[in-house]
Amino acid sequence: MCGIVGYIGKFNALEAVIEGLKKLEYRGYDSAGVAYKKENDIKICKEKGRVIDLEKCIMDIDSSLAIGHTRWATHGEPNQRNAHPHSSMTGRFVIVHNGIVENYQKLKFEYLNDYSFSSETDTEIIADLIEYFSNTLSVEESIRKTMSLIEGSYACLIIDKKHPNHIYCMKDKSPLLVGKGKDGISFSSDITGLIDYAEEYMPLEDKTFGIIDAEDVYLQDMIGLPIENRFQKMAIQKEEIDKQTFDHFMLKEIYEQPMMIRNLIHHYFSGEEVRISPKLIHHIRQSDKINFVACGSSMYASYFAKYYFEKLCGIPCEVFCASELVYSTPLISKRPFFIFFSQSGETADLLAVMKKVKKQKHPILTITNTIESSMVRLSDYHLNIYAGKEIAVASTKAYTAMLVTSTILARAVSKTKTNLKNNLKAVSLAMEKVLENKEVCRGIAQSIINQEDLFYIGRGIDYWTALEASLKLKEIAYIHTEAFSSGELKHGPIALITKNTPVIAIITQEGTNRITRSNLAETESRGAKTYVIASKSLSTPSDDVIIPNVAHYLSPLVSVLVVQLIAYYAAVFKQNDVDKPKNLAKSVTVE
């Protein structure tokens, strides 16, 4: 979603901000803009479209202070007028904002009757409110007063033309990190935007206000009391955000999966024993129910976690979709344990649920790829999935890393010994074999690109892979795809089958092999063009993709690579923007 960056210091701030915006491009956006100091004045340049278009209008300009923004439209269409930065009515305050001011109409009505507006955004009123209060209060007080009135979420960088040697910031619910380097201070919505300019970083807590000059960061709470700076060493390498020789980040990330499994083994095993905090293990063992909370691919990953925990540990589990859970009140058991899955650790729906769960004092574990995230800071426990930075909007390696981390955790919580470490090593080798056979997936992709609808089917754990497969194809190939439990076809969806509708079956479980094949045959009799992805031991010569055998409960880690590759190649054939699909954002920071 929206990304904000800022820089103040000895380097050319515009260069730093443009580089930062480029690093945040993966989050998804439709317009971009910058504000910068030029001879004691503040200039603004903004464009609908890509950061590269913006670059042209600020070429060869030097500045010591700049803020920048990539906007993912929420209020008002994506155009130049609605792009950030926005200015207050007189132009004194200039602001970039990530988040949503939910009560902006009310605030406009109460305070800004004499103001005229030049955009349709909720952001503009933040600049106007600060200006309105600055008639009677200091800048600091005006910003803090504005913070106290906003309902919703915000991470903002603000410049005051009367004090052009400072950047002010305010933050609640939307992420904001401050970086410190030898030559200046930088800001970013996530850690990638700080690479190259910061040696240390500090994620800001909710309801923080800050005044920043080229030397230091002065943070305060809502009533103006100082907050201590807690910088940590930067924990990300530049190579992690480099495409290397791959055409797209998504393909690179698909290819990183075998190595990632080996890394996870390295991080979580000591000999045959799992290395996870005994306190966490004990806490989960004490619970009478585990509640998994997630969205999108992470939610599909948590279906597997439920399966592993119920099978291995005998603890009842339930999977909740965060965006539903936040507006419902399910019955909670006596000793619940909550596990949140999130690649980014910043998903707004999850944070909203987490705050409710925390209020009720239930224990929380976050399983994430982003240890500097807001969710980690709110949780009692966290586990890193060690997938490395995932740049492509469509999740691949983070999804598989969640499956692996949850099976390792379930193994640690259960008292039964399994040969998990060797089984995971076998998965990593099996994944490499799938990648060697990528041409088969490419062939399937080519044969489906002109189809309007496609169906993935499977049963049990293969059905969950089908859900993820369908999401991938929708996200990047823009093909309407549904996943059905193959047994459900006859209860309705089979009516959708017409001549040549592609139906792809995923078959990795012995118990459901025969029945899924007969359900597939039923679609074929009604004209479907069918494909089978099957584990070797269950395969027939006419199957389309045969994947190596691995422990049956880990086979989804292998079959999912096939569907990731099909989606990837379908998107490439359709010449879509694979890494930045339309309308989507990597980190969904608004509800």
Q: Is 257 in the site for ligand AGP (CB under 6 A)?
A: no
Residue with smaller CB distance to ligand AGP, 395 or 519: 395
**Tokens 């640690």, residue?**
412
Q: Which stretch binds ligand AGP (CB under 6 A): 63-71, 108-116, 121-129, 339-347?
A: 339-347
Tell me the C-alpha distance between 474 and 453, whole Å: 10
What beta strand segments (E) does 39-166 contain?
A: 41-48, 65-71, 86-87, 93-101, 152-160
Active-site position among 108, 306, 474, 586: 586
Provide the greatest CA pair distance for the chain: 80
For ligand AGP, the binding residue among 112, 566, 588, 590 (CB under 6 A) is 588
3-state per-residue secondary structure call for 413-469: HCCCCCCHHHHHHHHHHHHHHHHHCHHHHHHHHHHHCCCCEEEEEECCHHHHHHHHH
Per DSSP, 199 falls in state: S
Active site residue 2: yes
What are phi and psi for residue 337, nearest 5 degrees? -130, 135
In the structure encoding, which two tokens stand for residue 528, read together? Answer: 């479907």
Closest approach, Cβ 316 to ligand AGP, in A, equals 24
Q: Give the binding range for ligand AGP (CB under 6 A) out of 336-344, 423-431, 433-441, 553-561.
A: 336-344
Q: Indicate which residue of 2, 156, 169, 317 is catalytic.
A: 2
Contact with ligand AGP (CB under 6 A): which of 291, 379, 395, 407? 395
| Residues binding ligand AGP: number (CB under 6 A) | 15
Q: For the packed helices 420-436 and 257-268, what is the interaxial angle rounded to 10 degrees?
A: 170
CB 351, min distance to ligand AGP, A? 10
Q: Considering beta carbons, is residue 395 or 414 the nearer one to ligand AGP?
A: 395
State the minimum distance, in angstroms, from the CB of residue 297 to ligand AGP.
Answer: 4
Alpha-carbon span 427 to 390, nearest angstrom:
21
173, 206 Cβ separation under 8 angstroms: yes
Under rule CB under 6 A, residue 475 binds ligand AGP: yes
Interacting residue with ligand AGP among 146, 153, 291, 342 (CB under 6 A): 342
Helices 124-134 and 139-149: crossing angle, nearest 10°? 130
What is the rounded CA–CA span in Å between residue 370 and residue 391? 12
Measured from the CB atom, is 295 or 557 closer to ligand AGP?
295
* Residue 548 touches ligand AGP, criterion: CB under 6 A: no
Q: Which residue is nearest to ligand AGP (CB)?
A: 296
Q: Tell whether omega for the bond before 502 is within 30 degrees of 0, i.e. cis.
A: no
253 binds ligand AGP (CB under 6 A): no
* Closest distance to ligand AGP from the beta carbon of 408 (Å): 18
The reply to whether 394 sits near ligand AGP by the rule CB under 6 A is yes
Using CB under 6 A as the binding rule, the residues of this chain from 264 to 323 that contact ligand AGP are 295-298
Catalytic residue flag (residue 586) = yes
What is the per-residue DSSP string for 473-512? HHHHH--EEEEEEGGGGGGTGGGG--TT-EEEEEE--HHH
Map residues 345-384 to x or -, x wherever contact with ligand AGP holds by CB under 6 A.
--x--x----------------------------------
Residues found near ligand AGP in the complex (CB under 6 A): 295-298, 342-344, 347, 350, 393-395, 475, 587-588
Indicate which residues carry an active-site annotation.
2, 586
